[in-house]
Structure 1
Amino acid sequence: MKESGGVEAQSTVRKGKKKRGSRTNTDEKEPLLPADYDFDSVRPIEVKDDWAPRIDELEYRLQDLRSRYQLPWD
């Protein structure tokens, strides 16, 4: 009996994944906001009380991932 999968199946899976869009150099990106943006019209962020544990957990998980996978720009 022949096993299913193997190198052929992995190759097929890889072919199906396509990258979308293109990455650009950070120097080439235009700023998110214009230099003369009126910050007086910005309202403050409201964080609900029940979000605090979720935000703390997210922060912990991000720090854990950063410590596991030291990225070249860190």
Structure 2
Amino acid sequence: ELAGTGLLAGLLASIVASAIAWALARWVFDFRWTASPLVPLFGAIVGALLALGAGWWSLREVLRRPVAATLRQAAE
């Protein structure tokens, strides 16, 4: 779930960043620019890895405890 969310976020962010870079190159700096097809791929991979890392870091205490202990604490 975390990897899927990060993958989608990274993909969308890299596509939007490429579109903004193209617009800046065309209308502000007035030069020709072509997008690399690898940018969305790398953006998606990095987004998935960052989401997995952040999710693991924030859930590390919950993952160390037994399930029953976590459920008992949540029911209180």
Tell me the TM-score normalised to structure 1 length: 0.30
Query: Which has a greater percent of helix?
Result: 2
Tell me the TM-score normalised to structure 2 length: 0.29
Structure with bigger RCO (C-alpha 8 Å, 6+ apart): 2
